[in-house]
Structure 1
Amino acid sequence: MVTNQRPEVLVLDVNETLSDLEPLRARFEAVGMPGHALDAWFAATLRDGFALTAAGSYAAFRTIGSDLLHSMLVGAGLDATDEVISSVLSGFTQLHAHPDVAPGLTRLRELGFRLITLTNGAAAMSEQMFAEAGVLQLLEHRLDVEKPGRWKPDAAAYRYAAEVCKTEVDRMALVAVHPWDIDGARRAGLLGYYLDRRRTPYPQAFLPADLTAPDLESLADRLAMA
C-alpha cells in the first residue's frame, strides 16, 4: 500500500534494518553456543525490553542482553564470565551495513528526506558501521531510547524522535524490518514503511505498512514515484 502523504523525516531502525547481524553467529559459536542461539537471544532481549516498558520501567539493551546471555551460557554449562559475555556483545560495534544501505540512504537524501536513526540499542554502537559505510554525514540524528526510557514500540519512543527533529509525528515515517515496530509507529501517528528483507508475510494482527519494499534502494525508487 502506498500513501499519498509525503513524510519530512524518515526514522530508520538500526538492528537488522540497517545492520547485518549474521556475523554475530560466529561469536556465539566461539563461546560454545550454536549459531542459532543468536536468534533466541535477540528475541528474548526484545521480549524483556518490551516487558519492562509495559510495566513502566526501563533497562538498557546491553544490560538485558548481558543478563540473558549469562543465563544461556550457565544453562549450557559453559563459561559465563564478564569477559566471555563481552566477547560476544562487543560484536555489535563491528557489524557491517547491508549492501543497499549506502546507495539507498544516499538516494533518499537526494530526494529531500531528512534521515535519522532510532534504535532500542545504544546509538553509539553503530557509529563505526555508519562511518565505514560512508553514510554518517547523511544522518541528522542518531537516537536511542535511553532518554525517553521506553523501548519501541511504545509511543513515547517515536514522540521523542519527533521532539528532537522539531516536527510532528505525522510528518515522519518509520523504516524497519520488524512488523512490531511498524505497528507501534503507526499507532503513534507515524507512517510505516516495511523493509521485507526476508520475504516473509506481514502479520495480520498488526496495522499494515503504508509501503513495502525489499530494500532501501527499492524504497527510494517507490518514494520517488509517489
Structure 2
Amino acid sequence: MPTAAFDLLGTFFSTEPLRQRLCALGAPDHALELWWAESLRDALALTGAGATRPLEDVLAATLPRILAELGRPAQDPSRVELVLKGLRVLNPADGAADAAARLSASGWTLIGLTRGSEAHARALTERAGLRKQFAALIAADHLGTRHADPYALARQHAGGETWLVTTHAWDAIAARRAGLRTAWISRRERHWPATYPEPDLQVPDLAACVQVLERRGATLGAMHA
C-alpha cells in the first residue's frame, strides 16, 4: 500500500488568508513570504542546534521583527494577535479535501507532516473534518531536542512506496535524500531551483498530483497482485 505524506502548512492548508491579516497592519503584499521564509530559517536553525520549537512558536516570535523590517514596528499587540490567530483557522487549500478523499479511496495511506506542533496539526485537520483521513500526524513534537529527521519518521509510519507532496522545493530535496519520492506542486514557488536535483513529479496543483498518484497506485497494485 503506497503512502502520501502531505506537508500541511502551505500545501494541504493554505496560508493565503494570513496575507490579508498582514496587509491590515499596513505590511506590503510580500510580507507573508518574508515572514514565512525567515521563520522557517529560524526554526531549522533551532532544530540544528538541538532546540526544536514548533513553527507556530517561531512565527509568533518572528512577526514583530518582520514588521519592524518592513517599517511597521510598535504595532498594537491585539492587532498582531489577530494575525497569529489566523494560524489556527487555516482552511484546506483548493483541491486538498478532494485529494485526501480520492487517495484514501484508492488505497493510499495518508500522513500529515508539519514543522508545527501535533496539537496544531490535529486542530486544523479536525476543524476541516479530515482528521480520520490521516493515519498519522508527524510534527515538531516528535523531533524532540535532537536533530531527528522528520522524513525518516514518516517512512517509519508508511507502508510501501512513500511520496512527499509539497509546495516547498527545500522540503522536496530533503525528503528525497531520506529516500522518499517527491511530488512538487509549483503553485507557490513557480520555478524549481537549478541547484536541486529534479523531483520525481512536478505539477501545477493538487488535482494534477492526485491524478498521477492514482495511476501510480494502480500500477503498484497490479505489480503486487
Which bracket does the TM-score occupy, shorter chain normalised? 0.7 to 0.9
Query: How do residues 84-103 of structure 1 correspond to structure 2 at under 5 angstroms?
Result: 84-103=79-98
Residue 129 (structure 1) shift: 4.3
Please give the alpha-carbon distance, in whole angstroms, between the structure 1 residues aligned to 2:180 and 2:173. Answer: 10
Residue 164 of structure 2 aligns to a residue whose secondary structure is strand
Task: Determine the structure 2 residue equivalent to 1:123.
Answer: 118
Residue 32 of structure 1 aligns to a residue whose secondary structure is coil
Q: Does the CA-based 8 Å contact 2:53-2:140 persist in structure 1? A: no
1:19 and 2:13 correspond: yes
Moved more, 177-186 or 87-96: 87-96
Identity in percent: 30
1:191 and 2:181 correspond: yes
Task: Determine the structure 2 residue equivalent to 1:159.
Answer: 152
Please give the alpha-carbon distance, in whole angstroms, between the structure 1 residues aligned to 2:26 and 2:141. Answer: 32
TM-score by structure 2 length? 0.83
Deviations 1:132-161 (CA, angstroms, capped at 9, x unpaired): 54422211112212221479xx76111222
Deviations 1:154-188 (CA, angstroms, capped at 9, x unpaired): 7611122233x1x47x7321110111111000101
Please give the alpha-carbon distance, in whole angstroms, between the structure 1 residues aligned to 2:193 and 2:145. Answer: 23
Deviations 1:189-209 (CA, angstroms, capped at 9, x unpaired): 111111222472211212221
Q: Give the counterpart of 1:222 among 193, 212, 221.
A: 212
One-letter amino acid of the counterpart of residue 79, structure 1: A
1:202 and 2:192 correspond: yes
Q: Give the counterpart of 2:56 among 53, 62, 68.
A: 62
One-letter amino acid of the counterpart of residue 17, structure 1: T
Residue 23 of structure 1 aligns to a residue whose secondary structure is helix
Please give the alpha-carbon distance, in whole angstroms, between the structure 2 residues aligned to 1:131 and 1:162. Answer: 23
Q: Which runs of 4+ in 1 moved over 6 A?
A: none
Unaligned runs of 5+ in 2: 217-225
Please give the alpha-carbon distance, in whole angstroms, between the structure 2 residues aligned to 1:180 and 1:156. Answer: 14
Q: Does the CA-based 8 Å contact 1:118-1:144 persist in structure 2? A: yes
Deviations 1:36-75 (CA, angstroms, capped at 9, x unpaired): 2111111100111122233343233133222211223345
Q: Does the CA-based 8 Å contact 1:186-1:207 persist in structure 2? A: no
Residue 204 of structure 1 aligns to a residue whose secondary structure is coil
Q: Give the counterpart of 2:44 among 50, 54, 60.
A: 50
1:150/1:9 Cα in 2 relative to 1: closer, same or farther (>3 Å)? farther
Please give the alpha-carbon distance, in whole angstroms, between the structure 2 residues aligned to 1:224 and 1:30. Answer: 41
Please give the alpha-carbon distance, in whole angstroms, between the structure 1 residues aligned to 2:148 and 2:203. Answer: 24
Q: Does the CA-based 8 Å contact 1:117-1:141 persist in structure 2? A: yes
Unaligned runs of 5+ in 1: 1-6
Residue 117 of structure 1 aligns to a residue whose secondary structure is strand
Residue 19 of structure 1 aligns to a residue whose secondary structure is coil
1:77/1:137 Cα in 2 relative to 1: closer, same or farther (>3 Å)? closer
Deviations 1:61-102 (CA, angstroms, capped at 9, x unpaired): 133222211223345353346544322111011111122111
Please give the alpha-carbon distance, in whole angstroms, between the structure 2 residues aligned to 1:206 and 1:216. Answer: 22
Residue 127 (structure 1) shift: 4.2
